[in-house]
Amino acid sequence: MKGVGFVEMGKKAAVLGAGGLSGRELLRLLRNHPKLEVCHITSDRYAGKSLGEIFQEQGRKSKLTFQKHNSPLPSDSVVFLAGPDAFAREKVPSLVEQGIYFVDLSAAFRFSEGKITYGLPEIFREDIRLSKGIANPGCYPTSIILPLFSLGEWRKNISFISINSASGISGAGGRKEDNGFLYQNVYENFRSYRVLCHQHEPEIQKYASHGMGRQPPYQLVFIPHLLPINRGILTTTVIYWKGSPPQGLEDHFRKLAEIEEFIRFYDSPEEIEIQNVQRTNEIHLSIRTRESISVIVSALDNLVKGAAGQAIQNMNLMLGFPEAMGIDGT
């Protein structure tokens, strides 16, 4: 489903699953988008209720009303899917068949080939521009894949990668009915979860090693942790090199940040803080090397660069809008 995705005029946008955390964030960001106007929102839970009644920050004057998920889409609208995997698997085939532009925020199609493009703009920008369907990356993977993939041919000299990521509740599972994510079990607490069995590890493996063949030359271990905060992810990626580390790693990332609008490089890993990326579409990172070990520290907002902001970034590219439109001032 490749096509020339250029649109001069504004477009109507539908947000399916608008009652969840990612859907709510999409609505917040799209309010400021000059070319995308939300015209249709769905939630079986909130069907019949006004947007302002459910999300007061959207304002009482909004004329939008939540519809059922099975309600028909307005004609000539683009679609953001902000529901779970099963929801996406039900909806996406019809969107593909009709040639409707869409971005799916679930994990359902991140391993698809051909008709749906993996939507990490800093890596697959040209493919996204020619696509009509995007699988938005996960929040943890975005914080990890971007710095690792950018190492290019240097990745061949890696023997082992150990990744520790800590996420706020909204990224780690706060959308699910799990007692482990209740306030009383998170407050004043810090713990790992899904050790060696997290659903994002295959995604990280696949795209961090993209272009290196079927079997990357290194092993990778990913261990997620739950932070007692609402939003934000901080990732520490430890790279063990086969021999001496490459020269110029800091300059490499510094130059990357100069050409990529949403990547910021810091001289010191200690400067990377979650509070500085909250409610932005940026990823902040830094690197330090000692002997045969390099440590990359990165941070992003799981609801923006890890979800809604990146989804809008992808939609902008497909429609021929400036990539940062509507999200450069988040």
Domains located in the chain, CATH noted: 11-137+306-319 (3.40.50.720), 140-301 (3.30.360.10)
Helix axes 139-149, 121-129, angle to 10 degrees: 100
List, by residue number, the catalytic residues.
139
- State the virtual CA torsion across 288, 289, 295, 296 in degrees, nearest 10: 50
**Is-contact 133 117, C-beta < 8 A?**
yes
Number of H helices, E strands in the chain: 10, 14
**Average pLDDT of the residues of the chain:** 92
d(CA 24, CA 279): 13
d(CA 231, CA 278): 7
Asked if residue 207 has pLDDT above 60, the reply is yes
Q: What is the DSSP track for 100-153?
A: --EEE-SSTTTT--SSSEE--HHHHHHHHHTBSEEEPPPHHHHHHHHHHHTTGG
**Alpha-carbon distances, residue 267 vs 146, 254, 255, 278, 309 (angstroms):** 18, 9, 12, 20, 26
User: In which band, very low, low, confident or very high, does the pLDDT at 216 lie, cut at 50, 70 and 90?
Assistant: confident
d(CA 286, CA 12): 39
d(CA 208, CA 210): 6
Q: What is the pLDDT of residues 124-161, one digit of tens each?
A: 999 999 999 999 999 999 999 999 999 999 999 999 99
- Does the pTM exceed 0.85? yes
Q: What pLDDT sits at residue 182? A: 64
